[in-house]
Amino acid sequence: MTATNKATNKATDRSRQNRFVFLDIMRGIAPVLVIYSHVVALFLDPHGLDSPVVDLLSEQLRDPLRLEQQMGHLAVVMFFLVSGFIITQVGTSESHREFSIKRLFRIYPLLIATVGLTAILSIWNLEVLRTGQHFEITLQSVLTNFALANYFMVPQVILLGVAWTLVIEVIFYSMVLSLLAVLRRWTWLAILIELGLVLAALLLAREFGPSFFLLSVNMSYLPVVLLGQVTWAVWSGRVPLWLGTVFGFASWTLYVLGDIRNMGRLDDAYSSTCALGFGLFIVLLLAEPHLRPTRPISFLADRSYSLYLMHGPIAFPVMEGLRGVVPVWLAVVAGLALTVAAAEVTFRYVEQPGQRIGRRLTKRFRLKKAEPRKTPPERVEPAWPEPRQPEPRRGPQGVEPAWPGPGSGDAPTVKRIRPVPALDEALPARPPRPAPRPAPPPWPTRQPRPATGPPAPPVNGVRNGHDVIRGELWDPDPDRVAGGGRHRRED
């Protein structure tokens, strides 16, 4: 194994770890059902060939569940639901250019290779898969099939019978691309606009000519894709459950309206098949936490696109060439084995290189991911108590504390105020501070009694505020005493 293959396998393993297992299960089952339906409906039944396996599946699954077209439409519903879910999730994280370039290199390299191979094999008169439409090999038909423009032209020339689902995928990609900004910010509004566009296409299908009618026929399948988109919106929390239920019911109604408006449906089991496929989709989504990836499912899921396109130009020429030469089952097994081998080749040398080119071209157009908000480290409390910080005091003139007082911060800092001469001259001078009071002694002291002369004679029986007669303290105010009244001191 070369270094390139090792790096590719490692990248594939890393991407597989970030994928939904339930989507891989659906992507692995869908191409198997498509191949089975085409082998039965377009090879065994036209030639009157029977198979006990086909009879058993018809009795147990197809007939009880009304899975018409040999369960082929159920596979188409699976593909559309997966696309609606995953394309919406991817689109919300990509820029417009990145989204368009990646989808372009995802769809068209293998499509162009398969259409070219089909044209070459048809020129050699080999029987490839045909679905009944007009088939003609010209330069114009090849180029229009390359671009999928043939599905909007009258008459339609279809070289690759299974490419009709790719037209619906491209229409959905275009709608998501045009509403990408709305989808990121207002997901509910983007879904509402898409539902409105589908409704307008169904109501005006026959008003603007045959090309617009063909566009409307393709858009009549978009409600299935929108069911996958609504499921993602509810699952991701972009839309509440009650609103998602309303949108889901609206999508179902529009899909049924496609039957009522005769939009090219082959039978009357389209709506019931859609309901069955959506129910299976929801069950697998709810079981996602308990699902684990397996090698067979991952193998089929990775190569689902190659298997879907390559079985037409590979399996059918082999089965037609071996019919009548070997038993039927051996011809079918040989055709399927060569299809798997061809899908492996196209997956490694067409799909993966195309995806790598798309990623390389979109490096400069990627959206910048929002950096996580930095949180300050948690403060670790010491095992011993911290010393108490001194309260901020007013410093010298021109220096003010940054904190007004205690409790406004862990530790005060000093903020230098630049003096302004003009203001200093205009403002009055600061008055001098009063002298501080002397500190009281730490213990009470007894003051000595001042030496005085002989006591003054009492006036009306009162000497120095002391009633010498009653022994009570009176007010020695001479004015009051002179007035002849005795007044008790209030203090």
Residue of higher predicted confidence among 294 and 459: 294
The model's pLDDT over 416-462, given as tens digits with 9 standing for 90+, comes to 556 556 656 666 666 677 777 777 666 655 656 655 556 555 555 54
DSSP tag of 43: I
Name the token pair of 121: 């094999």
Domain coverage including residue 41: 15-365
In a domain, 478, yes or no: no
Residue of higher predicted confidence among 15 and 429: 429
Taking 80 as the threshold, does the pLDDT of residue 162 lie above it? yes
Q: 178 pairs with which residues across the strands?
A: none
Measured between its terminal Cα atoms, the distance across the chain in Å is 110
At residue 271, what are phi and psi to the nearest 5 degrees?
-70, -45
At residue 38, what are phi and psi to the nearest 5 degrees?
-70, -40
Write the burial class of residue 105 (CB in 10 Å: 0-12 exposed, 13-18 middle, 19+ buried): buried
DSSP tag of 335: H
Q: Cα-atom radius of gyration of the chain, to the nearest Å?
A: 45
pLDDT of residue 382: 53
Instruction: For Cα atoms 433, 439, 443, give the angle at the middle one, nearest 5 degrees.
Output: 170
The model's pLDDT over 72-96, given as tens digits with 9 standing for 90+, comes to 999 999 999 999 999 999 999 899 9
The model's pLDDT over 324-371, given as tens digits with 9 standing for 90+, comes to 899 999 999 999 999 999 999 999 999 999 999 999 998 877 766 544
Q: Whole-angstrom Cα distance, residue 210 to residue 213? A: 5
Grouping H, G, I as helix, E, B as strand and the rest as coil, residue 410 is coil
The model's pLDDT over 58-75, given as tens digits with 9 standing for 90+, comes to 999 988 998 888 899 999
In a domain, 254, yes or no: yes
pTM as predicted: 0.73
Angular region, 247: left φ>0, alpha ψ -120 to 50, beta rest:
alpha
In a domain, 475, yes or no: no
The model's pLDDT over 207-259, given as tens digits with 9 standing for 90+, comes to 999 999 999 999 999 999 999 999 999 999 999 999 999 999 999 999 999 99
In a domain, 109, yes or no: yes
pLDDT of residue 387: 56
Q: What's the CA dihedral at 483, 484, 485, 489 to 10 degrees?
A: 80
In a domain, 377, yes or no: no
pLDDT of residue 133: 82
In a domain, 134, yes or no: yes
In a domain, 2, yes or no: no
In a domain, 450, yes or no: no
Which residues, 6+ apart, have CB-to-CB distance to 227 below 8 Å?
A: 80, 81, 84, 248, 251, 252, 274, 278, 281
Q: How many domains does the chain have?
A: 1
pLDDT of residue 469: 45
DSSP tag of 467: E
